[in-house]
């Protein structure tokens, strides 16, 4: 039994052993499998890990090189983490940024904006958005738009995920647009012109102050309405619609002129229609700038009328001039011709037949000749007078003293029998027409020369006395003088104060002098006493004052 | 001297003509004096139109021209003379009543050989024609 038992035992043992081996093998197998599995899992894990690492790296790169700044903030605004874009936005290394506060880089006046932003985020547990201004390390202002959402970190603390986008350029463009818009408004609102903007449907989308003033309708009642809605006259509505549509179509500025009949009368307007473009180059609106040019037109018409009048006057004057010219020409030509005949044939008579005529007949012939000579002289004087009146003034500085000296020596040479003392003063320069002033002075001196003939000690003086306002020139003689009660007749043509047989002359010299002095805007007068002499005074307006 | 040297006198006033003719006679000037009294006929003469044949009316050596002529005035005559190639260099003296008439001609910018103031005396005529080296023909008179 023992043996049996033993046998059984050993058998059992054997059996156990087999079993044991079997189990062991199984186990080994299993563990082998398990291990392999584990290895596989490990490998997978490792792979996943590496993948994850790569992703993290990739994420970091993306995170850093995003064109948008990105920060994680605590609810107090402390910077936990930020990307490179943000640090370069501020212009400071990232290592200095971490753990500092975003408030340090926000303009003080925008702090409230940032705290509101953070508060809003906490309250709403959602998203928040705001615009504020940062200052970078170069002290430049950086406009940013900030968008945050809310997250929790490992320790369940609230952190923000905040993107910060720089919008400085956008703000700048916006501001300059705003500025130019403001400028336009200021200009338009204060312009004396009527300025209105029209859309494609010809409706007013903007009008300036002047428009409401002219139409007498408040701005809000004009906006959105067309000219027809506003009750413009039909022809005006038609014109405007046509031209505005044309500007929309042709994309070109157009200027139109038109008249409007109003209660007070006719008014003239000029309107520039200017296209306004969108970024695609399409006309989005048309600006109408209208000016009331009635005054201008009226002035223009006045000027045209005046010009016409002037033209007429000029033509009349020309006609008169022509007539005058032909008149004086006739005088010189036609009046002389019969005189020449009288003279010519009288002389022929004298030469050919008069030898044995009685003295009385010869005397008659002499008288005829003398009369025709005097007539010739009269005609010449008349012509000279009219020439002096017509001649164009050409002023320059003239020395009257020089003219007087020259003329006096001429006189003394041609009349050696006379001994006249000439006294010629200084400072006798005047502005005047040399030809005319020469004629005037010669006339005055010739007069003095003539009327001093009976004197024993003739003396002729030319001088100037400086009065307060003007210079008074004078020609003085100690000749026969004249009765002052006739002085008003002195300057009348052909009017004589002495008989022509005593003092020959056409009686036109002083009229010529007066005419010349008057043409120089001067005055002339005389003082005299019979038997004691005469003084002729005259003034001449300074340069630039004469006609 | 060539007695055929013709002087054309364009003058409408018969007294004036008479006095000039007398002056020619008195001074025994031999040059033929052709007298035309109407402006248009002066032109007919010079351009040999309307019966003014070149045989009967030879081209003058010089013209004494009055400014005031009937129908065509002196200035128009002068203009035509200067505009025509045939007569452009014909010596023309303007007869004037007064020196102011010189201005009229100067304004026209037409060329003239000179001016002679009326009445025309031998002295004035001689002085004028001397300027163009024209000698009046006094014939073979003994001095």
- The structural domains of chain B, with segments of one domain joined by +, span 6-130
| Fold adopted by B6-130 | Rossmann fold (3.40.50)
The separation between the first and the last C-alpha atoms of chain B, rounded to the nearest angstrom, is 16
Judged by CB atoms closer than 8 Å, whether chains meet at A336 and B101 is answered as: no
* Cβ within 8 Å of residue A520, ≥6 positions away: A393, A432, A433, A436, A437, A540, A541, A546, A547
Instruction: Collect all residues of chain A within an 8 Å Cβ-Cβ radius of residue B98.
Output: 332-333, 336, 380, 383
In whole angstroms, give the CA distance from residue B80 to residue B103. Answer: 19
pLDDT class of A323 with cuts at 50, 70, 90:
low
DSSP A358: -
Q: Distance of alpha carbon A241 from its chain centroid, rounded? A: 32
Position A125 pLDDT exceeds 80: no
Q: Which of residues 336-365 of A touch B (CB under 8 A)?
A: 336-338, 340-341, 343-345, 348
Alpha-carbon distance A327 to nearest alpha carbon in chain B (angstroms): 13
CATH code for the domain of A100 = 3.30.450.20
- Terminal-residue alpha carbon distance, chain A: 178
Pair (A23, A77) in one structural domain: no
In a domain, A172, yes or no: no
Overall average pLDDT of the A490-505 stretch = 76
For chain B, the residue count is 143
| The two three-digit tokens of residue B138, written as one number | 């006094």
Distances from the Cα of A194 to the Cαs of A66, A267, A467, in angstroms? 52, 14, 61
Q: Based on the domain organization, do A263 and A354 belong to the same domain? A: no
The sign of the dihedral angle between the CA atoms of A219, A221, A222, A225 is positive
Residue A82, CA distances (Å) to A21, A64, A150 in order: 63, 8, 16
The answer to whether the CB atoms of A336 and B98 lie below 8 A apart is: yes
pTM of the predicted protein model: 0.46
Based on the domain organization, do A138 and A235 belong to the same domain?
no
Query: Which of A316, A340, A374 represents a domain boundary (last residue)?
Result: A374
pLDDT surpasses 90 at A488: no
Residues of B with CB under 8 A from a CB of A: 13, 15-16, 19, 22, 67-68, 97-98, 100-101, 104, 118-119
Contacts of B65 in chain A (CB under 8 A): none
The two tokens of residue A40 are 């596989």
Q: What is the mean pLDDT of residues A94-116?
A: 87
**Closest Cα of chain A to B47: distance in Å?**
28
- Cβ-based contacts of A349 with chain B (< 8 Å): none
Whether A459 and A333 share a structural domain: no
Contact at CB, B15 and A336, closer than 8 angstroms: no
- Is A390 an interface residue toward B (CB < 8 Å)? no
Q: State the greatest distance between any 2 C-alpha atoms of chain B, in Å, as a whole number.
A: 45
If one counts every other C-beta atom within 10 angstroms of the C-beta of residue A330, the result is: 12
Which residues of chain A have a CB within 8 Å of the CB of B100? 328, 332, 383, 387
- Nearest Cβ partner for B97 among A337, A341, A345: A337
| Domain of A131, in residue numbers | 66-166
Best mutation target among A330, A336, A340, A389 (most B Cβ atoms within 10 Å) is A340
Task: Write out chain B in H/E/C secondary structure.
Answer: CCCCCEEEEECCCHHHHHHHHHHHHHCCCCCEEEEECCHHHHHHHHCCCCCCCCCCCCCCCEEEEECCCCCCCHHHHHHHHHHCCCCCCCCEEEEECCCCHHHHHHHHCCCCCEEEECCCCHHHHHHHHHCCCCCCCCCCCCC
The single-letter DSSP state of residue A497 is S
Whether A60 and A80 map to the same domain: the answer is no
Q: How far is CA A226 from CA A240, A262, A272, B95, in A?
A: 10, 20, 18, 82
Backbone phi, psi, residue A229, to 5°: -55, -35
Residue A398: name the closest of A535, A524, A516 by CA: A516
State both tokens at A244: 């505005």
- Which of these three, A374, A407, A422, is where a domain ends? A374
Residue A298 lies in a domain: no
B55/chain A closest Cα distance in angstroms: 34
- Give the torsion through C-alpha atoms of A61, A67, A72, A75, to 10 deg: 180
Domain boundary among A292, A321, A347: A292
Give which of A184, A124, A133 is closest to A160, Cα–Cα: A124
Q: Do A348 and B67 touch (CB under 8 A)?
A: no
Q: pLDDT tens-digit profile of A363-418?
A: 999 999 988 988 888 888 877 777 777 778 888 999 999 999 999 999 999 999 99
Closest residue on chain B to A328 (Cα): B100
Q: Which residues of B touch A337 (CB under 8 A)?
A: 13, 15-16, 97
Assess whether A399 and A527 both reside in one domain.
yes
Q: Would A119 be classed as within a structural domain?
A: yes
In a domain, residue A366? The reply is: yes
Residue B26 has pLDDT above 50, yes or no: yes
Which is more confident, A499 or A418? A418
Measured CA to CA, the distance from residue A168 to residue A147 in angstroms comes to 16
Rounded Cα gap, residues A521 and A524, in angstroms: 10
A326 and B CB contact within 8 Å: no
Tell me if A257 sits within 8 A of A251, measured CB to CB. no
- Same domain? For A363 and A496 the reply is no
Cα–Cα nearest to B25, from A352, A340, A357, A362: A352
Mean pLDDT of chain A: 86
Whole-number CA gyration radius for chain B: 14
Spatial CA neighbour of B103 closest among A328, A376, A316: A328
pLDDT tens-digit profile of B102-125? Answer: 877 887 788 999 999 999 999 999
Distance (Å, whole) CA A180 – CA A186: 10
Residues A533, A398, single domain; the answer is: yes
Rounded Cα distance between A524 and A517, Å, is: 7
- 3-state class of A166 per DSSP? strand
Judged by phi (left if over 0) then psi (alpha if -120 to 50, else beta), residue B50 lies in: left
Of B16, B22, B100, the CB nearest to A337: B16
Same domain, A398 and A534: yes
Residues A142 and A211 in one domain: no
For residue B104, list chain A residues with Cβ-Cβ distance below 8 A. 329
Q: Domain for residue A186, yes or no?
A: no
CA A152 – CA A160 distance, rounded (Å): 8
| Nearest CB to B100 within list A344, A348, A387 | A387
Bridge partners (DSSP) of residue A271 are A256, A290
Q: Does the distance separating the beta carbons of B100 and A344 come in below 8 Å? A: no
Q: Which residue has the higher pLDDT, A460 or A312?
A: A460
Position B3 pLDDT exceeds 50? no
- Which of B68, B97, B103, B122 is most worth mutating to test chain A (most A CB atoms within 10 A of its CB)? B97
**What would the pLDDT profile of A416-427 be if each residue is shown by its tens digit?**
999 899 999 998
Confidence at residue A251, expressed as pLDDT on a 0 to 100 scale: 92
Write phi, then psi, for B57 (nearest 5 degrees): -125, 80
This complex has an ipTM of 0.83
**Which pair of structure tokens corresponds to residue A312?**
């007429």
Secondary structure of residue A224 in the 3-state scheme: coil
- Cα–Cα distance, A372 to A375 (Å, whole number): 5
Torsion angle of the four alpha carbons A321, A323, A325, A331, in this order, in degrees rounded to the nearest 10? -150
Residue from A487, A501, A485 nearest A535 by CA: A487
Q: Is A540 exposed, middle or buried (0-12, 13-18, 19+ CB in 10 A)?
A: buried
Could you give the number of structural domains in chain A?
5
pLDDT tens-digit series, residues A167-202: 888 888 888 989 988 888 888 888 889 999 999 999
Q: Between B4 and A48, name the one with better pLDDT.
A: A48
Tens digits of per-residue pLDDT, A44-85? 888 888 888 888 888 888 888 888 888 888 888 888 888 888
């Amino acid at each position: 039994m023992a043996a049996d038992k033993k046998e059984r035992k050993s058998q059992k043992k054997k059996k156990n052993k087999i079993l044991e081996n079997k189990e062991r093998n199984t186990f080994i197998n299993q563990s082998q499998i398990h291990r392999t599995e584990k290895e596989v899992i490990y490998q997978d894990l490792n792979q996943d890990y590496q993948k994850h690492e790569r992703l993290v790296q990739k994420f970091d790169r993306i995170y850093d090189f995003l064109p948008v700044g990105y920060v994680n903030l605590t609810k107090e605004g402390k910077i936990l983490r930020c990307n490179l874009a943000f640090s370069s936005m501020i212009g400071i290394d990232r290592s200095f940024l971490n753990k500092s506060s975003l408030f340090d880089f926000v303009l003080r006046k925008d702090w409230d904006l940032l705290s509101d932003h953070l508060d809003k985020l906490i309250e709403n547990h959602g998203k928040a958005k705001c615009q504020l201004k940062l200052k970078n390390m170069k002290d430049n202002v950086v406009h940013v738009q900030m968008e945050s959402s809310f997250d929790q970190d490992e320790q369940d603390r609230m952190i923000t995920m905040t993107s910060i986008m720089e919008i400085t350029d956008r703000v700048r463009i916006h501001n300059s647009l705003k500025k130019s818009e403001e400028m336009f408004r200021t200009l338009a609102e204060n312009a004396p012109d009527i300025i209105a903007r029209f859309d494609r449907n010809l409706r007013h989308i903007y009008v300036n102050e002047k428009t409401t003033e002219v139409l007498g309708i408040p701005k809000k009642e004009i906006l959105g309405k067309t000219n027809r809605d506003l009750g413009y006259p039909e022809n005006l509505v038609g014109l405007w619609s046509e031209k505005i549509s044309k500007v929309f179509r042709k994309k070109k500025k157009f200027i139109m002129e038109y008249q409007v009949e109003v209660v007070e009368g006719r008014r003239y307007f000029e309107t520039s229609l200017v296209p306004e473009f969108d970024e695609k180059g399409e006309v989005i609106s048309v600006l109408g700038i209208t000016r009331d040019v009635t005054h201008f037109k009226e002035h223009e018409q006045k000027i045209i009328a005046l010009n016409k009048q002037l033209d007429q006057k000029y033509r009349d004057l020309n006609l008169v001039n022509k007539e005058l010219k032909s008149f004086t020409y006739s005088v010189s030509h036609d009046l002389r011709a019969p005189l020449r005949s009288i003279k010519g044939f009288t002389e022929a008579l004298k030469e050919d037949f008069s030898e044995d005529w009685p003295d009385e007949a010869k005397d008659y012939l002499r008288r005829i000749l003398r009369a025709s000579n005097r007539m010739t002289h009269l005609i010449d004087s008349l012509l000279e007078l009219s020439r002096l009146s017509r001649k164009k003034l050409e002023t320059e500085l003239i020395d009257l003293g020089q003219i007087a000296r020259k003329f006096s020596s001429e006189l003394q040479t041609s009349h050696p029998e006379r001994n006249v003392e000439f006294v010629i003063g200084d400072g006798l320069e005047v502005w005047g027409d040399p030809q005319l002033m020469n004629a005037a002075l010669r006339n005055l001196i010739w007069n003095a020369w003539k009327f001093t003939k009976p004197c024993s000690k003739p003396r002729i003086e030319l001088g100037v006395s400086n009065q307060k306002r003007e210079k008074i020139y004078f020609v003085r003689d100690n000749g026969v003088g004249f009765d002052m009660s006739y002085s008003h007749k002195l300057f009348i043509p052909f009017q004589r104060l002495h008989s022509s047989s005593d003092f020959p002359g056409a009686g036109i010299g002083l009229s010529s002098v007066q005419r010349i002095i008057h043409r120089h805007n001067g005055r002339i007068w005389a003082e005299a006493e019979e038997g004691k002499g005469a003084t002729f005074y005259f003034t001449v307006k300074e340069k630039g004052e004469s006609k | 001297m060539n007695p055929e040297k013709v002087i054309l006198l364009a003058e409408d006033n018969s007294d004036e003509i008479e006095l000039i003719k007398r002056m020619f006679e008195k001074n025994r000037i031999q040059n033929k004096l052709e007298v035309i009294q109407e402006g248009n006929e002066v032109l007919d003469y010079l351009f040999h139109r309307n019966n003014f044949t070149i045989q009967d009316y030879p081209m003058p050596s010089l013209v004494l021209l009055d400014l005031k002529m009937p129908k065509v005035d002196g200035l128009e005559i002068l203009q035509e003379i200067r505009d025509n190639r045939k007569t452009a260099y014909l010596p023309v003296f303007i007869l004037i009543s007064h020196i102011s008439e010189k201005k009229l001609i100067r304004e026209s910018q037409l060329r003239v050989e000179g001016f002679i103031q009326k009445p025309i005396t031998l002295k004035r005529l001689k002085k004028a024609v001397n300027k163009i080296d024209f000698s009046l023909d006094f014939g073979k008179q003994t001095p």
